[in-house]
Each structure stands twice: as structure tokens, then as C-alpha cells.
Amino acid sequence: MTVQKLRNRLYDTEEIQRKDNRFLHPWELMEEVGSNKRTVTAEAEGIYLYDSEGNRLIDGPGGMWCVNIGHGRQEMADAISQQIMRITYNSPWSTTSGPAAEFAHQLAKRAPGDLNNVFFTTGGSTAVDAAVRLIQFYNNYLGRPEKKHFIAREKGYHGSTYISSSLSGKIRDKDFLDFETDLFHHIPCPDPLDKPADMSDADYLDKTVADLENMILEIGPDKVAAFVAEPILASGGVIVPPTGYHKRCLEVCRKYDVLYVSDEVVTSFGRLGHLFASEDVFGIVPDIITTAKGLTSAYVPMGAMLVSDRIISAFDKDKGGAMYANGYTYSGHPVAAVAGMKNLEIMERDKIFEHVREVGPYFQEKLQEMRDIPIVSDVRGMGLMGCVECLISDGSGGGGEVLAMDYDIGNRIDAHCQKRGLLVRPIINMCVMSPPLTITKDQIDDMMAILREGIEATMADVIAEGLW
């Protein structure tokens, strides 16, 4: 069907979907190549998307936790287009640009502690990749080439390059691809749901921290280069660690001269109500922060690694000769840098962090209300990131293991919600919500009403199918 919508443009859904079969999408199920019929998102404004059939959808996942200032801001378009006409691109090797220099300066000024050095990348995966490579470079330079092992967590997600995906700990993604396994190690995810019923919170915190220390000791402190952790495990299902976890892990890292990399690709740029969550929410100053997504609110791709003076100053200027031979054609792309600058200006001018601190608790409270739906097994989150987890396999919505029959619940809920005007991010049996940060309380009410209907409709289907 061809529709006319919003800004008077025409969309032919079937034609787009037919051509889309030549687009091999990220995380594509191979049996669906050539036949998948995805929703065609055509236009967007603020927190709303419009599909090619003219339906309005609330952008529940905010793109992929990235459209932080909302869609379609004219001033972003103006800044980007003006920069394209001023200078489209410059080589970051031999030259620099005003926007890249200014953006690095502004980020360094706002970063925690001595994280005063900004390395620009193309996205989150390349930021994590750059961190691993910098740390290996650093240890080689310091004459300890054996200090190369990295520790991350099960259920963590750090990206899709060979290195960053090797750091990721999501088991389900590891079925058919190859990964570096010699240098990358995983400890259990500090998931409050995994806490044994008879264990106190304090004991569970001790156990999760001991997991890190034991792994360092097992590999050997002289061999462990860094611990890499998301402040809140995002794609793993919005898992908020026990209070004090990051601080205690940082202490363990300091004890064994292990660097701490905080992967803030999702949690920075306002998602938790602050520019960076490491210091302001979790009270730590790591050695490296990786960021992307909200860095430009997805208007154009960009990532960054923020590095401490302590690491950079380990390279002896008098001695010279040590080159960090790693970087991208698009490192510090001036158009991306302008988008980043304008994005930051908007966030600060419009008090978006303060807004998230105000509406975040309301969003969490409303999300918690889903607990009364029988198939909902857990609800969790912080700031403007949340997750509703469902289980049907044990017939009670509580506790049990995720079985094959649970795998489709997220997709089913998403389909029901889309019919009602909300896009959800389904991950197996979970629905992740991370709307644009500009969302108002009224819009949160709309979003939650649809989410509830979508989950209840899914539950009705499950009962009709005799699965509950």
C-alpha cells in the first residue's frame, strides 16, 4: 500500500521490503534472509516514529538507546549541513579541524578525574576495540608484554568487532562465530536475580567482587591487563549490579595494577541522568571510558574513548618513538564532531540530565506496575533504561529457567505493541525500554499503557495456545 504521510512524501511499503531483502541486516537470522518483512520506519519527530503505512509509534528503544535528544531537530540538521558545506572531511592524521578539537576539549573538560584525552572512533565497538589495543600497547611499552589478559562479565555486551565481541559474554551470540578465547575471560554477571535465596545482599556483593579477584589470581595479576564492565549491563537485559559493586571492583583492580575500563556506550550522555554515569552514579573514576550512541544522539555515527593522563603520561616523551598505530579514516570526523557539539549544547541548554533525573523515577515506578501481570517475572532498570522480563515455561511467571518456548515472548509483545503504537526492543524473553530522554510524564503514561496491553495480549495468546 502506498501512503502519504507527515511531510508529504510517498512510501511504498512492499517495494521497500522487497528491496530490503538485499540488505543483510545486523544480527540477521539466516533463514530469514530474503523473506523478512521488517517495519519500515519512514519519518520521525521527537519521541515518535512514523511507519510507511502512516502509523505513529512511540520509539520505545530510542533507536537502540541512542536517539537521546529525540528525532528530527532542525538545529542539528542545520549544524550538520553547515559543516558539510564548510569542510566535509579532513585527514585526522596530518590535520585537524575546529569541531574535532573543540569537541575533544569540551569532553575532556567534563570527563571524570584525569580522563583528559579523547580518541574518536566510528562507534561503540571501535571504541572498545581501541581501548583493548591501547592497553596492550601500554603494557608492551612498559616492558610487560605478558600483561595482556582481559576480564569481562557473562551477559556483557561490548560490540561486534573481533576484539569487542570476544569481550562480550552473551552465550547465545557465541554459537557459530569464532572468538579470541586465550586472552579474554568472563566472570559471572552480578545479577541480583542470581543471588541464592538464602544469601544476604552483603554476602552476594562480596561474592561478585570475589569472582573478579579470584579470576585475577587464577590468571595471575602479572598477566591481567584490564577489567571491562558496563555500569549497567544493557543488552544483557538492563542488569543493575548490587550497590557498591563498581567501587569494590575498582579497589580490586587497583590492588593488582589492573586497569578499569568503563563501557559507557549506553549509560553516558544522560541515560542515567548524568553525562557520564561512572563517577556521578557509581562513584568511580575508571582509567578509560568508552562512549558512543548518545554522544551524537545518533544523528551521525561516532564513538570515543576517554583515556586518563596516567596512561598517556606513561609514554616517555624524551624517549619518543612509541606510536599508537591504531585509528580510523573517520576518527574525529568534523561533521560528527559538530553533531556531537550541538548535541551536548542542546542537552545542557535544555537541562536534559535534570529532566531524566526527574522523570526517571516515574518511568521506573510505572514499569514496576507491570509486575501484576502473571507472565511478568521481573522488572528492573534505572534512569531511562528499563526491562520487563517474562517467563511462560514454568506457568507461574516466576523464577525458572528460560526455555525454548520463552524465546519468542519479546517478539510477540513487540508485535502486539506495534499494532497499538509502541515500538519495543525485544531481547529473547525481555522487552527493553530506553526512550528518547526528552519523554514527558504524559508520554510515559501512554507508553506504559500500550506496553501493558501488549503484554496482556501476549498472555491471552499464550493461554489460548495452552502454553500457560
Residues lying near ligand PMP in the complex (CB under 6 A) are found at: 64, 123-125, 128, 157-160, 230, 234-235, 263, 265-266, 292, 303
Taking the least distance from each CB to ligand PMP, the nearer of 47 and 128 is 128
Taking the least distance from each CB to ligand PMP, the nearer of 11 and 282 is 282
Strands 117-121 and 303-307: antiparallel
Q: Taking the complex as a whole, how short is the minimal distance between the CB of residue 286 and ligand PMP, in angstroms?
A: 14
Bridge partners (DSSP) listed for residue 12: 2
Q: Taking the complex as a whole, how short is the minimal distance between the CB of residue 197 and ligand PMP, in angstroms?
A: 30
**DSSP assignment string, 122-148:** SSHHHHHHHHHHHHHHHHHHTT-TT--
Taking the least distance from each CB to ligand PMP, the nearer of 68 and 393 is 68
> Nearest residue to ligand PMP, using CB?
124
Q: Taking the complex as a whole, how short is the minimal distance between the CB of residue 156 and ligand PMP, in angstroms?
A: 8
Buried b / exposed e over 95-127, threshold 16 CB at 10 Å, is eebebbeebbebbbeebbbbbbbbbbbbbbbbb
Please provide residue 184's backbone torsions phi and psi, each rounded to the nearest 5 degrees: -115, 130
Q: Report which of 286, 130, 152 is spatially closest to residue 228, judged by C-alpha positions.
A: 152
Q: Taking the complex as a whole, how short is the minimal distance between the CB of residue 265 and ligand PMP, in angstroms?
A: 4
Taking the least distance from each CB to ligand PMP, the nearer of 157 and 363 is 157
Q: Count of alpha carbons within 13 Å of 449, Cβ hemisphere only?
A: 8
Q: Taking the complex as a whole, how short is the minimal distance between the CB of residue 126 and ligand PMP, in angstroms?
A: 6
Taking the least distance from each CB to ligand PMP, the nearer of 242 and 303 is 303
Q: Count of alpha carbons within 13 Å of 256, Cβ hemisphere only?
A: 27
Buried b / exposed e over 58-86, threshold 16 CB at 10 Å, is bbbbbbbbbbbbbbebeebeebbeebeee
Q: Taking the complex as a whole, how short is the minimal distance between the CB of residue 210 and ligand PMP, in angstroms?
A: 24
Q: Taking the complex as a whole, how short is the minimal distance between the CB of residue 233 and ligand PMP, in angstroms?
A: 8
Q: Is 99 helix (H, G, I), strand (E, B) or coil?
A: helix
Q: Which residues contact 323 (CB under 8 A, 6 or more apart)?
A: none
Task: Calculate ∠ Cα 142-148-152, nearest 5°.
Answer: 135
Taking the least distance from each CB to ligand PMP, the nearer of 234 and 375 is 234
Q: Taking the complex as a whole, how short is the minimal distance between the CB of residue 66 and ligand PMP, in angstroms?
A: 8
Q: Report which of 325, 342, 275 is spatially closest to residue 76, judged by C-alpha positions.
A: 342
Taking the least distance from each CB to ligand PMP, the nearer of 427 and 455 is 427
Q: Taking the complex as a whole, how short is the minimal distance between the CB of residue 158 and ligand PMP, in angstroms?
A: 5
Taking the least distance from each CB to ligand PMP, the nearer of 236 and 421 is 236
3-state SS record for 394-406: CCCCCCCCCCHHH
Q: How far is it, in rounded angstroms, from Cα 402 to Cα 199?
A: 22
Strands 117-121 and 259-263: unpaired
Q: How far is it, in rounded angstroms, from Cα 260 to Cα 151?
A: 10
Taking the least distance from each CB to ligand PMP, the nearer of 153 and 452 is 153
Taking the least distance from each CB to ligand PMP, the nearer of 46 and 123 is 123
Q: Taking the complex as a whole, how short is the minimal distance between the CB of residue 301 and ligand PMP, in angstroms?
A: 7
What distances in angstroms separate CA 153 from CA 166, 196, 212, 232, 236, one per listed residue?
11, 19, 9, 11, 10
Q: Report which of 384, 382, 131 is spatially closest to residue 281, judged by C-alpha positions.
A: 382
